[in-house]
Amino acid sequence: MEDGLLMMKGLMVLIFCMRVPMEVMGENGTAIVSSARPSVVNVGALFSFNSTIGRAAKPALEAAIGDVNSDSSVLSGTKLNLVFHDTNCSGFLGTIEALELMEKDVVAVIGIQSSGNAHVISHLVNELHIPLLSFGATDPTLSALQFPYFLRTTQSDYFQMSAIANLVEFYGWREVIAIFEDDDYGRNGISALGDALAKNRAKISYKAAFTPGASRSDINDLLVGVNLMECRVYVVHVNPGSGLTIFSVAKYLGMLNSGYVWITTDWLPAILDLSEVPDPDTMDLLQGVIAFRHHTPDSDLKKNFTPKWKSLKSKETPSFNSYALYAYDSVWLLARALDVFFTEGGNISFSLDPRLNDVNGSTMHFSALRIFNEGQKLLGTLLGMNFTGLTGQIQFDADKNLIHPAFEILNIGGTGSRRIGYWSNYSGLSVEAPETLYLKPPNTSGSSQHLYGVIWPGETENKPRGWVFPNNGKPLRIAVPHRVSYKEVVTKDKGPLGVKGYCIDVFEAAVNLLPYPVPHTYMLFGDGLRNPFYTDLVNGVFQNNYDAAVGDITITMNRTKIVDFTQPFMESGLVVVAPVKEIKTSPWAFLRPFTWEMWCVTGAFFLFVGAVVWILEHRENHEFRGPPVQQLRTIFWFSFSTMFFSHRENTVSTLGRSVLILWLFVVLIINSSYTASLTSILTVQQLTSQIEGIDSLITSSDPIGYQDGSFAYNYMIGELNIAASRLKSLKNMEEYANALKLGPKRGGVAAIVDELPYIELFMYSTNCEFRTVGQEFTKSGWGFAFQRDSPLAVDLSTAILQLSENGDLQRIHDKWLSLEACSAKSTQVDSTRLSLTSFWGLFLICGIASFIALTIFFCRVCWQYQRYDPEGKEQEVEDPEISRRRKKSIRAPSFKELMGFVDKKEAEIKDKLKRKSIDSKRPPSQNSDGQPSSPS
What is 521-567 written as a DSSP string?
EEEEES-SSSPPPHHHHHHHHHTTS-SEE-SS-B--HHHHTTSEE--
pLDDT for the residue numbered 247: 96
- Average pLDDT of 388-406? 94
Q: What is the pLDDT of residues 487-514, one digit of tens each?
A: 999 999 998 999 999 999 999 999 999 8
- Average pLDDT of 684-703? 76
pTM of the model: 0.68
pLDDT for the residue numbered 766: 86
pLDDT for the residue numbered 849: 82
Indicate the SS3 state at residue 40. strand
Mean model confidence pLDDT for the chain: 83
- Average pLDDT of 779-789? 92
- Average pLDDT of 408-421? 94
Q: Which of 328, 447, 464 is nearest to 394 (CA)?
A: 328
Contacts for 271 with CB less than 8 Å, ≥ 6 apart: 52, 240, 243, 244, 321
pLDDT for the residue numbered 898: 58
Out of 559-568, 588-597, 656-665, 916-925, pick the least confident.
Answer: 916-925
Per-residue pLDDT band for 934 (boundaries 50, 70, 90) equals very low
pLDDT for the residue numbered 21: 37
In single-letter form, the type of residue at position 115 comes to S
pLDDT for the residue numbered 921: 62
Can you tell me the distance from the alpha carbon of 322 to that of 390, in angstroms, rounded to the nearest whole number? 10
* Proportion of the chain above pLDDT 70, given as a percent: 79
Per-residue pLDDT band for 3 (boundaries 50, 70, 90) equals very low
- Average pLDDT of 66-75? 92
Can you tell me the distance from the alpha carbon of 686 to that of 645, in angstroms, rounded to the nearest whole number? 32
Out of 265-274, 301-310, 725-734, 864-873, pick the least confident.
Answer: 864-873
pLDDT at 811 exceeding the cut of 90: yes
Angle at 603 between CA 599 and CA 608, to 5 degrees: 145
pLDDT for the residue numbered 230: 86
pLDDT for the residue numbered 201: 84
| Side-chain-facing half-sphere of 346: CA atoms under 13 Å | 23
Check if the beta carbon of residue 589 is closer than 8 Å to that of residue 681. Answer: yes
Can you tell me the distance from the alpha carbon of 893 to that of 272, in angstroms, rounded to the nearest whole number? 114
pLDDT for the residue numbered 828: 46
pLDDT for the residue numbered 890: 45
Indicate the SS3 state at residue 421. strand
Angle at 378 between CA 374 and CA 382, to 5 degrees: 170
Phi-psi region of 827 (alpha: psi -120 to 50; beta: other; left: phi over 0): beta
Contacts for 248 with CB less than 8 Å, ≥ 6 apart: 216, 285
Check if the beta carbon of residue 322 is closer than 8 Å to that of residue 271. Answer: no
Q: What is the pLDDT of residues 155-192, one digit of tens each?
A: 999 999 999 999 999 998 989 999 999 999 999 999 99
Check if the beta carbon of residue 608 is closer than 8 Å to that of residue 666. Answer: no
Calculate the CA 446 to chain-centre distance: 11
pLDDT for the residue numbered 650: 67
Can you tell me the distance from the alpha carbon of 92 to that of 136, in angstroms, rounded to the nearest whole number? 18
pLDDT for the residue numbered 563: 95
Q: What is the pLDDT of residues 365-381, one digit of tens each?
A: 566 788 899 999 999 99
Phi-psi region of 298 (alpha: psi -120 to 50; beta: other; left: phi over 0): beta
- Average pLDDT of 35-63? 90
Highest mean pLDDT among 739-743, 840-844, 860-864: 739-743
Alpha helices of 818-903 — where are they, by DSSP H?
Answer: 829-832, 840-867, 880-888, 895-903
Q: What is the pLDDT of residues 8-45, one digit of tens each?
A: 444 443 343 333 333 333 434 444 444 468 999 999 99
Calculate the CA 200 to chain-centre distance: 11
Can you tell me the distance from the alpha carbon of 675 to that of 673, in angstroms, rounded to the nearest whole number? 5
